[in-house]
Amino acid sequence: MSITMTRSVVIVDYGVGNVFSIHNALERIGVSVKLASNQKEIESAEHLILPGVGSFPEAIKNLRHRGIYDSVQSFIASGRPLLGICLGMQLLMDRSNENGNHSGFGVFEGTVERIDSIIDGNKERIKIPHIGWNNILYNSASHDNILKDIGFDGHYYFVHSYACRPKNSSFILAHTNYQGIMMPAVIACKNILGLQFHPEKSGPDGLRLLKKYFCSHGALYN
């Protein structure tokens, strides 16, 4: 079963992370997608994917150096759907304290902080980064949640040392529990969805989530 997209789906290619794994995963579920690293292609997209692996300041630097930071910002303001994955989700916050103090796109009020700074007490017991498979805990209070119909017994692949801390908890659709620390795994606001894990590396559960997401944004099953 494949998906026929009625929207132009574009992955922002800005030199941070392996965009080809996302590209290949989407093609596996029948989503026609292309990579873009220039203003025109990003601004003309109907659906944008902001990926990322690595550090927050490096990502912001690359976006600005390639002249596409403002294009992504304009896309966010346009009301069209955007999916942020891993570091791409963190870039949607106000700011990050990773190696300094750095501004993000400001979709979600709040900060990005190192995982072991979230807790009080013995930080040495927390292994950084959070890497490997983990489940997500659905926030039943959230409305219009794409997670409702896909089940919550699946596992997803995480690789991160920093975590988002939105001030408005209603934006958090799901958490993950890492060594007793509850961290946002899925956040959403209007046209924006952020996933801290990598759906493209999460096997059948990740592909199932992507199918559900794209079907809710102008796609139909064949």
What angle is formed at CA 88 by the lines to CA 129 and CA 171, rounded to 5 degrees?
Answer: 95
What Å distances lie between residue 123 and 50, 113, 127, CA to CA? 31, 14, 9
Catalytic residue from among 23, 98, 164, 200: 200
Query: Tokens 């979600």 belong to which residue?
Result: 108
The answer to whether 166 and 172 are in contact (CB under 8 A) is yes
Q: How distant is the alpha carbon of residue 165 from its chain centre? A: 14
The structure's pTM equals 0.91
Tokens standing for residue 95? 């700011």
Nearest to 158, CA basis, from 198, 193, 114, 118 = 198
pLDDT in tens, the chain (222 residues): 556 555 689 999 999 888 999 999 999 999 999 999 999 999 999 999 999 999 999 999 999 999 999 999 999 999 999 999 999 999 999 999 999 999 999 999 999 999 988 766 555 678 899 999 999 988 766 555 566 655 555 789 999 999 999 999 989 999 999 998 999 999 998 889 999 999 999 999 999 889 888 887 654 433
Is residue 215 among the annotated active site residues?
no
Tell me which architecture the domain covering 3-221 has in CATH: 3-Layer(aba) Sandwich (3.40)
Cα–Cα distance measured from residue 150 to residue 153, given in angstroms and rounded to the nearest whole number: 9
Domain definitions of the chain by residue range: 3-221
Catalytic residue from among 86, 130, 164, 175: 86
The answer to whether 207 and 30 are in contact (CB under 8 A) is no
SS3 of the chain: CCEEECCCEEEECCCCCCHHHHHHHHHHCCCCEEEECCHHHHHHCCEEEECCCCCHHHHHHHHHHCCCHHHHHHHHHHCCCEEEECHHHHCCEEEECCCCCEECCCCEEEEEEEHHHCCCCCHHHCCCCEEEEEECEECCCCCCCCCCCCCCCCEEEEEECEEEEECCHHHEEEEEEECCEEEEEEEEECCEEEECCEHHHCHHHHHHHHHHHHHCCCEEEC
Is residue 86 among the annotated active site residues?
yes
Give pLDDT, residue 220: 41
Is residue 155 among the annotated active site residues?
no
Catalytic residue from among 23, 102, 175, 198: 198
